[in-house]
Amino acid sequence: MARKPGPGKCVHCLKQFGIRNWDHVFPRSWYPDSTPPNLEKWQIPTCKKCNSDYGKLEEELLVMLAMTVDPGGHASSGIYERALRSVNESLGKGKRARIARRAKREKVLRSFLFGNDIPTEGIYPGLGERWNIPISDQIAFPIPADNIRRFCEKNVRGITYRESGQFVEPPHQVDFFPINAQDAEPLEQMFDRHGRTYNRGPGFEVVRVVPYDEPLAAVFKITLFGEFVMYASISRLED
């Protein structure tokens, strides 16, 4: 087991700590079964509280996103089944774990929307119906936008620290923007021309563009499981 990173600043809350933990940029449980066994899983130094808070967020978010990916996709191999196991009460080790799994399962089931009750607006770009399923047979559920935003911001801070050794701190900030494929076309052209691509196995791809005159500022495209895309940037606030 790797040693803890020791004293220093937390990548997320930016506070100083005598002891920090290692946190995975992309959660260990999110790596698909198709991930090469020798792949390095990016880690960053964080405080215990941030590590725990993001762990809870990622556990909940994985169940939601897993319901939207192609179960047979190479980049999402095993993700859907893993999410189902996480809400399977019979697999809980001990009474407390079984109760927690049951509660998680009931929360997911209560959130389902069926057929004509599914709204036609407010659907995250790329996560709408794409299998030609009749509306009467479709199932959907809400994903809190703030959860996606927080997860994206965490990724950006972690990637920046991993690749540049820098903290995203004032006067810089992370901006998250969900946009559809048509509106993203100018960004895609920029990524094609100037982006540097990082592949963390088939499950995660990051494309990053850094301007030559502002090393901390950057634009990101983060693709999860080959399907779910997040766009973000690091910008400098005007004085």
Q: What is the pLDDT of residues 112-127, one digit of tens each?
A: 889 999 888 888 887 7
3-state secondary structure of 38: coil
CA quadruple 21, 60, 204, 226: dihedral, nearest 10 = 180
Three-state DSSP state, 113: strand
Q: Is the confidence at residue 1, as pLDDT, over 70?
A: no
Average pLDDT value over all residues in the chain: 91
The alpha-helical segments, DSSP class H, found in 112-184 are 145-164
Contact (Cβ atoms closer than 8 angstroms) between residue 75 and residue 227? yes
Residue 239 has pLDDT above 70, yes or no: no
Q: Which amino acid is at 141?
A: F
> How far apart are the two ends of the chain, measured CA to CA in Å?
45
Spatial contact of 55 and 49, defined as CB atoms under 8 Å apart: no
Pairwise CA distance, residues 200 & 26, whole Å: 9
pLDDT in tens, 40-82: 999 999 999 999 999 999 999 999 888 888 888 999 999 999 9
Find the mean pLDDT for residues 14-30.
95
Name the burial class of residue 237, with classes exposed (0-12), middle (13-18) and buried (19+) by CB atoms within 10 angstroms of its CB: exposed
Parallel, antiparallel or unpaired: strands 228-236 and 43-46: unpaired
Res. 2: pLDDT tops 70: no
Name which residue leads in pLDDT, 89 or 124: 89
Which residue from 1, 9, 6 is spatially nearest to 165, judged by alpha carbons? 9
Determine the residue type at 74. H
Q: How confident is the model at residue 195 (pLDDT cuts 50, 70, 90)?
A: very high
- The predicted-structure confidence for 106-161, as pLDDT tens digits, reads as follows 988 888 889 999 888 888 887 788 788 898 998 888 888 899 999 999 999 999 99
Residue 239 pairs with which residues in a beta bridge?
none
Residue for token digits 């809350």?
13
- Which residue, 197, 236, 229, is CA-closest to 214? 236
Instruction: Tell me how far CA of residue 226 lies from CA of 48, 68, 77, 127, 201, in angstroms.
Output: 31, 12, 11, 12, 11
Stretch among 104-118, 154-168, 186-200 having the lowest mean pLDDT: 104-118
pLDDT band per the 50, 70, 90 thresholds, residue 237: confident
CA distance 76 to 70: 7
d(CA 34, CA 39): 11
Query: Residue 225 in contact with residue 69, Cβ under 8 Å?
Result: yes
User: Is the peptide bond preceding residue 27 cis, with omega within 30 degrees of 0?
Assistant: no
Pick from 11-25, 60-74, 189-203: least confident: 60-74
Beta bridge partners of 36: none
Task: Give residue 148's pLDDT.
Answer: 93
The pLDDT value given to residue 180: 84
Quick one: average pLDDT of 98-102? 91
